[in-house]
């Protein structure tokens, strides 16, 4: 998990390895998984982490990639959600 607070407010980034994406799992299926991870993994941890974020970003990568480093061989999917009424609301990222 990575957090930052750029001009737009507090953002928590939850990063997951998913070696099967891009080969056996396409974006549509991965998007459903990312929504599930936001709702069932990230949201329950917010109380333990600290202040409420403006946004949660869930990312899946087929290999470990350092944050902010470009790896043209890596398959990565990202989705952004705002926290509202105890749920994850998808936002265009």
Radius of gyration, CA atoms only, the chain: 13
- 60-75: pLDDT as tens digits: 999 989 888 888 889 8
* Structural domain boundaries in the chain: 7-91
Q: What's the confidence (pLDDT) of residue 5?
A: 57
User: Does the global pTM surpass 0.85?
Assistant: no
Q: What's the confidence (pLDDT) of residue 4?
A: 62
- Report the range of poorest mean pLDDT among 1-10, 28-37, 71-80: 1-10
DSSP codes of every residue in the chain:
-EEE--TT--EEEEEEE-TTBTTTB-HHHHHHHHHHHIIIIIHHHHHHH-SPPSEEEEEEESS---TT---TT--EEEEEEEEETTEEEEE--
């Amino acid at each position: 998990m990575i957090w930052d607070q750029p001009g737009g407010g507090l953002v928590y980034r939850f990063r997951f390895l998913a070696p099967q994406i891009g080969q056996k799992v396409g974006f549509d299926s991965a998007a459903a998984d990312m929504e599930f991870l936001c709702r069932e993994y990230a949201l329950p941890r917010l109380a333990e982490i600290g202040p409420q974020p403006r946004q949660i970003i869930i990312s899946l990568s087929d290999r470990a990639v350092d944050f902010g480093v470009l790896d043209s061989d890596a398959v990565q999917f990202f989705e952004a959600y705002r926290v509202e009424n105890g749920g994850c609301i998808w936002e265009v990222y």
